[in-house]
Amino acid sequence: MKINNYGTQGINPYKKVNKVDQSNKAEGTKGADKVEISAAAKELQQVSQVSAARTEKIDALKKQVQSGTYEVNPQDVAKSILNFYSKN
C-alpha cells in the first residue's frame, strides 16, 4: 500500500517567521537587550561586615592547614553532628 502527500509536506513553516522579520525591518525598529538588577540583588552584591569577618577566618584557617598546625577537636565535631541531627 502506498500513501502519497501525507503530513505537512506542502506547508513551508518558515513563511510565517519571514513575514514577522520583514515587518520588523519595515518598521525600522531594532530590538535592544535590557538588563535590570533588582534592589535585593544589589544588596547581595555588597560586601558586608559579616562576610569580611568570615573571609578573615577562612584565611586564618587556610594558613593553619598549609602550615600543618590545624588540629580538629573530635569532641566538638561529635557535638556538632549530634546537634545537627537532633534539630532535623
Per DSSP, the residues of 29-47 read ----------HHHHHHHSP
- Predicted confidence at residue 66, as pLDDT, reads 95
Cα-based angle 49, 53, 55 (whole degrees, multiple of 5): 115
Whether residue 70 contacts residue 64, with contact meaning beta carbons closer than 8 Å, is answered with yes
Q: Quick check: 18 pLDDT over 70?
A: no
- pLDDT (tens digit per residue) in 20-66: 555 555 555 567 889 998 888 888 777 666 777 888 999 999 999 99
- Predicted confidence at residue 63, as pLDDT, reads 95
Q: Is the pTM of the predicted complex or chain greater than 0.75?
A: no
Which has more confidence, 32 or 16?
32
